[in-house]
Amino acid sequence: MFSLALSLLAAGGLFVGGVMLWAVCKHFLTVDIPAAIGHPVKLRVLDCLFLLLFTWGSIFEKLGICSLPRFVRFVHDLAVLRKDPDLMVTDLHFGTIPVKLYQPRAASSSLRKGIIFFHGGGVIFGSLKTHHGICCHLSKESDSVVLAIGYRKAPDYKFPIPLRDCFVATIHFLKSPKTYGVDPARVVVCGDSIGGTAAAIICQKLLNRPDLPKIRAQILIYAALQALNFQLPSYQQNRKVPLLSRNLYFYCWHVYLGISPSWESAIKNGAHLPAKVWAKYGKWMGSENIPERFKRGYQPKPPAPVNEDAYLETSVILDVINSPLIAEDDVIAQLPETCIVSCEYDFLRDHSLLYKKRLEDLKVPVTWHHMEDGFHGVLNTIDMGYLYFPCSSRILNAIVSFLKCL
């Protein structure tokens, strides 16, 4: 009996070791680390850990134990949250939607700015816990009240449920901001990655709501802002750069929108949209709108002939709630002051550049911060100890400076 237990233990150890070896080998075979990124070893370690988590999630999914996203979220939420004595953090529910409220403990002679924060994670990863440190920093350093929204996620809740949760929670907060010590005239929406997408969409959709306070500003941190053109320079340059590779982006995209992965090739080649769509929106999202300095090694590729079946299944991307970049001029022109953060080695970098141009062309004030050594997801390293990247502090400092000027 003892020898059997020992054999099983040894086999288990070998299996675990094999999974770790697989994750490390996959990293070195599939990932590019640009020379200009500071602390490349840290990024390799961080990506290996992420791939290990992803691999275990895939194993549990194949065994029917739980889905890959659910496993990753479970592990993320094992983290112990850091307490800041200068902040009061309260867990609330707006209906069934969990939120976290961050309030400075120091007394204030007036109502504070309010920041409605939507966390990133591709609508399948991320949680209120993964972005707790970011929200603490924002609240403390800018002396603001931060409301973080814990929307439901795919694959259990696909489009449009996560976005609907963000809308519901935002509207609930905006109906009585003074209850939380917030000045109705100084409410900002903010988010990273898909959270930035939510912030941009909500800012657009609430423009003509006379029953609610107007959003004072929007802060978009390497946000995903269009789902039409997959031949932009950053897609070619950064397709293998962690923490958001092209493969991971499409995985999240398919899971959230419920679009079959079988259309991935057609989508990448532009065959998912007819010529009339490219003619209508090309003026806003063509590579000619990207500054030349971002086009190193770029090889333009015209869209392939339309695949009508792919178009029928993917046409949901033409809705502005999936592609806020393609909203009409009369909508974009009404948007409030905007802070945009982009990272050089981000698969989604050009989304920020295109949206910045649209806003500026229509005279919307834009503050732009570009991180020359940044990559997608770097902000989340702010409280990761050894895996901390100085770029994360520069992003937060830039955002805080923007907030203090409002």
Rounded to two decimals, the pTM is 0.95
Specify the DSSP element, H or E, that contains 251: helix 246-257
What is the share, in percent, of the chain residues with pLDDT greater than 90?
86
* pLDDT at res. 13: 64
Specify the DSSP element, H or E, that contains 257: helix 246-257
Q: What are the CA-CA distances from residue 178 to residues 126, 136, 204 (Å)?
A: 29, 20, 23
* Local structure of residue 337 (DSSP, 8 states): E
Q: Which residues are catalytic?
A: 193, 346, 376
* pLDDT at res. 2: 58
Residues of the chain with pLDDT under 50: none
* pLDDT at res. 1: 59
pLDDT tens profile 170-195: 999 999 999 999 999 999 999 999 99
Pairing of strands 366-375, 97-104: unpaired
SS3 of 107-147: CCCCCEEEEEEECCCCCCCCCCCCCHHHHHHHHHHHCEEEE
* Local structure of residue 198 (DSSP, 8 states): H
Could you state, in order of their start, the residue ranges of all structural domains in the chain? Answer: 2-76, 84-406
Asked whether 99 and 149 are in contact (CB, 8 A), the reply is: yes
Q: Which fold has domain 84-406?
A: Rossmann fold (3.40.50)
